Chains A and B, each alone.
Chain A
Amino acid sequence: MATENKKVELTDLEQFRLDHGLALTEEPQLTTLNLGPTHPATHGIFQNILQMDGEKIMDAVPTIGYIHRAFEKIAERRPFYQITPLTDRMNYCSSPINNMGYHMTVEKLLGIEIPKRAQYIRVIMMELARISDHLICNSILGVDSGAFTGFLYVMQEREHIYDIYEEVCGARLTTNMGRIGGMERDLSPKALHLIDEFLKRFPKVWAEFEKMLTRNRIFIDRTTDVGAISAERALSYGFTGPNLRAAGVDYDVRVMNPYSSYEDFEFEIPVGSKGDTYDRFLVRNEEVWQSLKIIEQAYKNLPEGSYHADAPHYYLPPKQEVYRNMEALIYHFKIVMGEIDAPVGEVYHSVEGGNGELGFYLISDGGRTPYRLHFRRPCFIYYQAYTEMIKGGQLADAILTLSSLNVIAGELDA
């Protein structure tokens, strides 16, 4: 009797057993491991229930929503200016980008033109925020792969960035920076001085940090081919920002749809080739240099003029004026009490956030609050690829993948 040699389709698990010399019928001892919700290595509150075979991850089930605060619902009941503090709490590593992205969305709805000076100040603040965002991500990646020193060393620079925020808006982490219609105040001489100091000091620090990791044999071995994703899969998963660029797609909102005068500045978009952890690290590193370049240009060419638009119906007047000037008092009262109606409209505006395209989809029915405000949160969209990226890898690699993706729980859950 001739036996037919049939080709059998093997499942992942069966293939795994075959590769490891296990009998196909033998049940491997899978261990269930709860990674998170609160674990120092996840850098935020989200859970992954892992099925492990020894050190190897066979399956992962992510659970999110631990710090969901219903921002989209809250935003439907708040006057426009009260929504800015909600956006702070999304990606809290780079809150000024969120604030200004939201302001630009509302300005697009209202049709307000922003003076050049205000746009340049915004660019400076947004790029500082990008630096602080990438700085955290890359130095944490160092920590997770066993290099703690670099993290503390660059953390000092983040403090200096926060000093600049403090001088510009009064807050350090959840900034609520600027207003609908421009900036809340002009850059003070002290703020200019701090920015100047930062531009002088930071390149040395960052070069040193880069030197520690970029050509470090141990770091390269730990990160190359870890958590790789192809450009095609990344696009299908809706990746944007540094994580997409690491996979080789040069999509950057700042270049594709320039906002806030980004077309005035010379800068390059770094791209990677493999989309692995090392590429993401390199892309973020280079973006920090490019951000510095943009800040330098904006700082040098800071135009004269007003730091806010002439839009008294929407721009909160300076407090001194409120005490002295009748109109300012009226507008102040109307804005603060939420008595100003926005025009009917529907806008989408996106900015290049720390992690990618941060979009705001706003529908106004002509009332005092948005009818619907939807945040396109890059973290939420690309974190769903995490399961696919870590499957079949080691647990320690999964941690590195997570920190190189820079998933911020606040933005993930909103």
Chain B
Amino acid sequence: MELTNENVLGKIISEFGEENIWDALNPDGIMTITTNRETIHELIKYLRDDKELQISFLTTMCGIHFPDHKDKEMCMMYQLHSLRHNYRIRIKVFMPASDPVMPTMTDLYATANWMEREAFDFYGFIFTGHPNLTRILNIEEMEYHPMLKQYPLEDQTREDKINTFFGR
């Protein structure tokens, strides 16, 4: 079966229902769908185990922070790849900043381990069921999650640099 955005989306929706899968977009040739926390683990498991789809390679995952989207501030992005069909898909889950809790994917993909630690380190996502959710690139004593947009790159009290001139 040739995988196209239409038939993959059709299969996913018939499996999980329209109430759990929405916002199917195609920004760059890779279909992007949005789902919720309850569905994400089952969805990735389904994509991996389905005999027709075989979307069984976790290319990458990362956190994104949208401070202006109310109650949808935090986003986890998963990008999967079917090496058999050469088909890529991107899945997003949005959640409020007060409750950045996600189910872990470490039981499905060994590679999710460090990727989730990275997302925890930089964005403060909590992955329930992760075997060792500690910081990975930053020091353990760090008290904040530096990739969140409220932390500016440089000391904002400096007045000798004017933002408009320095590309900030």
Q: Identify the A interface with B (CB < 8 A).
A: 64-65, 68, 70, 72-74, 76-79, 82, 108, 233, 235-238, 249, 251, 256-257, 337-338, 345-348, 350, 357, 359, 361, 363, 368-369, 372, 374, 376, 380-385, 413-414
Q: Which of A77, A346, A374, A384 contacts B167 (CB 8 A)?
A: A77
Distance (whole angstroms) from the CB of B74 to the closest CB of chain A: 12
Q: In whole angstroms, how far apart are the Cα atoms of A413 and B32 in the complex?
A: 28
Q: Say whether A238 contacts B79, CB under 8 Å.
A: no
User: Do residues A338 and B138 form an inter-chain contact, with CB atoms below 8 A?
Assistant: no
B39 interface contact, C-beta 8 A: no
A347 touching B64 by the CB < 8 A rule? no
How far, in Å, is B150 (CB) from chain A's closest CB?
12
Given the interface contacts A65-B136, A345-B28, does A337 sit within 8 Å of B60 by beta carbon? Answer: no
Residue of A nearest to B83 (CB): A251
A348→B114 contact, CB < 8 A: no
Which A-B residue pairs are the 4 nearest by beta carbons?
A: A238-B111, A338-B167, A65-B137, A376-B60
Given known A235-B56, A251-B83, A345-B28, contact A72–B137 (CB-CB < 8 A)? no
Task: Count contacts between A and B, CB distance < 8 Å.
Answer: 93
How many whole Å from B166's CB to the nearest CB in chain A?
Answer: 8
What would 17 A/B residue contacts be, using CB atoms closer than 8 Å? Answer: A64-B136, A65-B136, A68-B137, A72-B122, A236-B109, A236-B111, A238-B58, A238-B109, A238-B110, A249-B83, A337-B167, A345-B27, A345-B28, A361-B62, A381-B111, A384-B113, A413-B137
Instruction: Collect the chain A residues with CB atoms within 8 Å of residue B153's CB.
Output: 73-74, 76-77
CA distance A179 to B115 in the complex (A): 30
When the two chains form their complex, are residues A72 and B147 in contact, meaning their CB atoms are under 8 A apart? yes
Most buried by B among A361, A383, A413: A361
Given contacts A65-B137, A338-B167, A376-B59, 11 further A-B contacts (CB under 8 A): A70-B146, A76-B153, A77-B154, A238-B109, A256-B83, A348-B90, A361-B77, A363-B64, A369-B167, A374-B62, A413-B137
Whether A68 pairs with B60 at a CB distance below 8 angstroms is no
Q: A368 near B60 (CB under 8 angstroms)?
A: no
Whole-angstrom distance from the CB of A412 to the nearest CB of chain B?
Answer: 9
Once bound together, how far apart are the Cα atoms of A79 and B164, in whole Å? Answer: 12
- Determine the residue in chain B with the shortest Cβ distance to A66: B137
Q: Give A380 to B116 CA distance when docked, in angstroms.
A: 12
Closest residue of A by beta carbon distance from B66:
A371
With CB as the reference atom, state the residue of chain B lying closest to A384. B114
Binary contact readout B146-168 vs A (1 if CB under 8 angstroms, 0 otherwise): 11000001100000000001011
| B30 on the A face (CB < 8 A) | yes
Within 8 A of A (CB), among B81-114: 83, 86, 88, 90, 109-111, 113-114
Q: Is the CB of A73 within 8 A of B147?
A: yes
- Contact B167 A368, beta carbon cutoff 8 Å: yes
- In which size bucket is the chain B interface? 35 or more
Interchain CB contact under 8 A, B57 and A235? yes
- Chain B hits for A72, CB < 8 A: 122, 147
Whole-angstrom distance between the Cβ of B152 and the nearest chain A Cβ = 8
A338 cross-chain contacts in B, Cβ below 8 A: 167
Closest to A67 in B: B137
Q: In the complex the two chains form, is A372's CB within 8 Å of B64's CB?
A: yes
Contact B138 A65 (CB under 8 A): yes
B59 partner, pick from A237, A357, A368, beta carbons under 8 A: A357
Contact A384 B111 (CB under 8 A): yes
Nearest residue (CB) in A for B168 is A77
The answer to whether A381 and B115 touch across the interface, beta carbons within 8 angstroms, is yes
Chain B stretch 43-58: residues in CB contact (< 8 A) with chain A: 56-58
Q: Which residues of B contact A363 (CB under 8 A)?
A: 64
**Are A238 and B57 touching (Cβ within 8 A)?**
yes
- Asked whether A78 and B60 contact (CB < 8 A) given A68-B138, A236-B110, A385-B110, the answer is no
State A359–B86 Cα separation when bound (angstroms): 15
Determine the chain B residues whose CB is within 8 A of the CB of A74 once the complex forms. Answer: 153
Instruction: For A382, list chain B residues within 8 Å (CB).
Output: 111
In the docked arrangement, what's the CA distance between A346 and B75, Å? 14
Query: Quick one: which of A235, A249, A345, A374 contacts B60, CB cutoff 8 A?
Result: A374
Q: Give chain B residues whose Cβ lies under 8 Å from the Cβ of A384.
A: 110-111, 113-114
The answer to whether B28 and A347 touch across the interface, beta carbons within 8 angstroms, is yes
Smallest distance from the beta carbon of B76 to chain A beta carbons, Å? Answer: 12
State the CA gap A62–B79 with chains docked (Å).
Answer: 26
Cβ of A361: which chain B residues have Cβ within 8 Å of it? 60, 62, 77, 79
Question: How far apart sit A369 and B166, CA to CA, in the bound complex (Å)?
Answer: 12
Question: Are the CB atoms of A78 and B28 closer together than 8 Å?
Answer: no
With a CB–CB cut-off of 8 A, which chain B residues contact A257? 86
Contacts of A369 in B (CB 8 A): 167
